[in-house]
Amino acid sequence: MMKKTLGIGMVGARYGARMHLANYRNLPPGLVEVRGVCSLTEESASAFARDAGISFSTTDLNRLLAREDIDIIDICTPPASHHEIAIKAAEAGKHLIMEKPLTGYFGEPGDPEPIGLRVPRAKMRAGARRNAEAVRDAVRANKVIFCYAENWVYAPPIVKMRRLIAASSGSILELRAEENHSGSNSVFSKEWKYMGGGALLRMGAHAVGACLYLKQWEGEQRRGKRILPVSVMADTADLIHTEASDRARKAQAHQWISSDPTDVENWANVVIRFDDGSRATVLVSDVGLGGLNTRVTAYMTDGLIKANMTANDVIETYAVDPATFASENFTEKLETKAGWNRPSCDEDWFRGFSTEIADFIQAIGERREPLAGIDLAVDCVNVIYAAYQSAEEGRTIQL
């Protein structure tokens, strides 16, 4: 008996939505069909619909949710709208795919502007937790599947790392996770009220998510229950607006870094303590040149495993003229194609995007939890906002 083709409604029509669309198209025929798109403006919705070859576009979310031929809502909007869209979609009985992060704190009536410089992080943490729990409650109450688009969980290097951990008899003593590049492409990334934070939330969600996932998985394998985070200590900064950066600006030696935040951080360092005594160290930066750099290292009692999701040397190039390979993609955020470079041979696969989409569709079809689901999404918000409070108050925050 042939399974039903799952209908997808996209919410958002820019970079994330187009990336998801490309990976839906890589699935076997007949599994899914993108049947509609909703965006803030008719222009962006129509452009996405035209490029995707779909007939329905709208600026009204309720019209998309009312369509009976749409089974899944894929949320690729800025984080400030995530939780409200997710709750409405769950209440409409739609399964959910959501780009990270799940949610955050985006301000309340009476908050002084800019909120990232003037609202206490303890208040933000409480608000972010309320938003996250409201989504989880809606997902469970309406019995829909929530798929959290944390691609690091699905990246082949992390999958292999998990298998290597399983093959050993040892334990993870420390995880070190890192992501660096020279600044976000998003116009929303500069302001807390749109993003819910800076590099720590936007990029650190990957690194924190991978560390939480690996420790939870290790606990289930080793002791039959998850290993959970119990405290967080952190430091954050806006390194582009410092005396060091001012000197570089005067010397015209800063133009390659696009990061220019209004009230968010572009650098963060976080230490997570787990209930088995182990640690995870997360370092993220929006001021790192050299293209996207992502990696996780597992320091174990009987071995060491390094997982590099970018900067691999499977292919190496050299060019004097940066235009030599201009028409071919190398890797995200790379400033120049001159000199020596290491282009990714299949970035969507190697970084886990294609695998996560395949698992999400299979999970929804089978009515099971995906590898990355609602609990991981909520845990990431809780840890990251505890880190924000730690950085502001200069102390360890208990979870």
Give residue 238's pLDDT band: very low, low, confident or very high (50, 70, 90): very high
Q: What is the pLDDT of residues 65-89, one digit of tens each?
A: 999 999 999 999 999 999 999 999 9
Determine contact, residues 99/149, Cβ cutoff 8 Å: yes
- Residue percentage of the chain with pLDDT more than 90: 81
pLDDT (0 to 100) of residue 289: 87
Helices H / strands E in the chain, number of each: 15, 15
Q: What is the pLDDT of residues 258-300, one digit of tens each?
A: 888 999 999 999 999 999 999 999 999 999 888 889 999 999 9
Q: Tokens for 150, please give them.
A: 């944390």
In three-state secondary structure terms, 324 is coil
- In this prediction, residues 325-331 reach a mean pLDDT of 87
Q: What is the pLDDT of residues 31-60, one digit of tens each?
A: 999 999 999 999 999 999 999 999 999 999
110: number of CA atoms within 13 Å, CB side? Answer: 1
pLDDT (0 to 100) of residue 312: 76
Measured CA to CA, the distance from residue 106 to residue 22 in angstroms comes to: 30
Q: Exposed, middle or buried by CB within 10 Å (0-12, 13-18, 19+), for 305? A: buried
Q: Exposed, middle or buried by CB within 10 Å (0-12, 13-18, 19+), for 346? A: exposed
Domains and CATH numbers, the chain: 6-151+355-370 (3.40.50.720), 153-345+386-398 (3.30.360.10)
Determine contact, residues 213/332, Cβ cutoff 8 Å: no
pLDDT (0 to 100) of residue 251: 66
Give residue 331's pLDDT band: very low, low, confident or very high (50, 70, 90): confident
pLDDT (0 to 100) of residue 335: 84
Give residue 252's pLDDT band: very low, low, confident or very high (50, 70, 90): low
pLDDT (0 to 100) of residue 17: 94
- In this prediction, residues 227-243 reach a mean pLDDT of 95
Give residue 314's pLDDT band: very low, low, confident or very high (50, 70, 90): confident
Measured CA to CA, the distance from residue 388 to residue 117 in angstroms comes to: 12
pLDDT (0 to 100) of residue 2: 44
SS3 string of 341-393? ECCCCCHHHHCCHHHHHHHHHHHHHHCCCCCCCHHHHHHHHHHHHHHHHHHHH
Per-residue pLDDT for 349 more than 60?
Answer: yes
Q: What is the pLDDT of residues 153-189, one digit of tens each?
A: 999 999 999 999 999 999 999 999 999 998 887 788 9
Q: Give which of 81, 125, 87, 117 is closest to 99, Cα–Cα.
A: 81
| Cis amide prior to 114 (ω within 30 degrees) | yes
pLDDT (0 to 100) of residue 127: 98
According to DSSP, the residues that pair with 231 across neighbouring strands are 273, 398
- CA angle 87/91/97 to nearest 5° reads 55
Per-residue pLDDT for 250 more than 60?
Answer: yes
Q: What is the pLDDT of residues 355-383, one digit of tens each?
A: 999 999 999 999 999 999 999 999 999 99
Give residue 1's pLDDT band: very low, low, confident or very high (50, 70, 90): very low
pLDDT (0 to 100) of residue 165: 96
Q: How many CB atoms lie within 10 A of CB 308?
A: 15
